[in-house]
Homo-oligomer: A and B are copies of this chain.
Amino acid sequence: MDIFSTLQEDKSRLSASESRIAEIVVNDFEFAVNASIIELAERAEVSPPTVTRFCRRLGCESFSDFKVQLARTAHVGVRYLKPESKSHAPSDVAQDIITKAQNALFLLHRSLDLTAIEAAVAQIARAEMIYAFGSGGNSSMIADELQNRLFRLGLRATSSSDHSMQLMMAAAAKPGDVIIGSSFSGRNAELVRAFALAREGKVRTIALTQTDSPVASAAEIVVPIDLPEGTNIYRPTSTRIAYIATVDILASLVAYAIQPKALTTLRRIKQQLVAHRDGDDDKQLLGD
């Protein structure tokens, strides 16, 4: 557990003086990690012992322990509390995008539903055939990615971003097959329809989407991905990164679940690639 979550959760249990300390820590993180207990106490207009007690209440051993914990999580965690930079200079834009991406991963980690993931992995690992659905540029990439990752494991997988094809495939799928649908917004009505159709035919359905969304309610297993999307319309990235990481987690776990099969297939794909290109370099990746 990190300090910031604890701060959020234990906010009510803090006394007036302690809240004042908390506020400074959240608002001026730079100051807080560099300050001594005395400086922090002065700025919050409390005594040093109060700061120590504050740290203890948050589950830290001591003030220095608190500072270290703060520095550790805040590197990733605190930035989403800060207003984004308004500059369009390349270095700022790059920094901003990378920070947001890291935050997305940080938030993803904290909100991961491992139970749902395990359930999804179990279904995928034993599926006869896997259909990955997603549309609209972002989710279609995720669908392709799912197929890309799963076929390498020796599983039968296909993907489609075409609504009509999705419906037809859902209708054609058999019990024992699995449909994985991705929707960033959770409001892809056609995907909902495909899920409904699939469930009628006893086909397993897995959704990668927002909780409490139409797509989520339509699927049997929901792997929830809930992230605040920034308001800047130019930059929908961070969510995308969280989805990719989730696909990666799913694919890795499936790989472990079906170990021997996956290993052979991967080896064969790799041999094929190496033979096809230059033979002297084994370091290249599987599939560029």
Contacts and interface: CB of A to CB of B under 8 A. Distances in A.
Interface string A193-236: 00000000000000000000000000000000000010001111
Q: Which 3 pairs across A and B sit closest by C-beta, in order of nearness? A: A136-B288, A136-B287, A71-B71
A143 to B, nearest CB: 10
B239 A241 contact: no
A235 B145 CA distance: 13
Contact of A94 (B33, B67, B88, B109): B109
A284 B236 CA distance: 11
A245 to B, nearest CB: 5
Chain A interface SS verdict (over half)? helix
B73 A94 contact: no
Contact of A286 (B98, B118, B236): B236
A249 B225 CA distance: 23
A183 interface: yes
Interface stretch (A8-16, A17-25, A40-48, A251-259): A251-259
B101 A245 contact: yes
Contacts of A106: 98, 102
Interface stretch (A51-59, A171-179, A184-192): A184-192
A266 interface: yes
Given A76-B75, A183-B288, A285-B239, A68 B245 contact: no
A261 to B, nearest CB: 13
B266 A233 contact: yes
Interface string A270-288: 1001000110010111111
Nearest to A189: B277
A253 B92 CA distance: 10
A229 B187 CA distance: 36
A141 B138 contact: no
A264 B241 CA distance: 26
